[in-house]
Amino acid sequence: MNIILIYKYRPLSQLHKFMEIHPLNRRRFTPLWAGLLLGGMMAPCLPTVSLADDSTFALTIRGHKFEPANLRVPSGTKVKLVVRNEDPTPEEFESYELNREKVVPANSEIVVFVGPLPPGSYPYFGDFHQDSAQGVLTVE
């Protein structure tokens, strides 16, 4: 235990000196430092890429209806909803439960971020065509 503590608190310059004296250790340490440096540089990139792919869901408005009417998304994570309106008239994506309200112009799309949410049902509707544009976001 004492030996480990002394080694740990040795200044960095002394540690380098120690490795030069022992060529075997130096050869072993160099790829380790390179690996740690490379890993540290790449680590922030990897989760960002997978997160963007995994948490994006498409919702289409067609004939004043939502497709799918029941959209399933994972709980406990931020979700990106791409709401595309293929109708020639504007619609408004709205949900009291999700606390969201955003106009989707004709033949265009908007992005709505929701969550992280607990499991449950979160109804949404098209405010301009409430009689037909109804749906539920199922978080599971």
Segment interacting with Cu ion, rule: CB under 5 A, options 3-11, 12-20, 30-38, 99-107: 99-107
Q: From the list 86, 97, 109, 127, which residue makes contact with Cu ion (rule: CB under 5 A)? A: 127
Question: 3-class SS at 140?
Answer: coil
The reply to whether omega before 74 is within 30° of 0 (cis) is: no
Q: Examine residue 97 and tell whether it contacts Cu ion (CB under 5 A).
A: no
Number of H helices, E strands in the chain: 4, 9
Antiparallel, parallel or unpaired: β 56-62 and 79-85: parallel
> Interface mask (CB under 5 A) for Cu ion, residues 9-48, using x and -?
----------------------------------------
CB closer to Cu ion, 54 vs 101 = 101
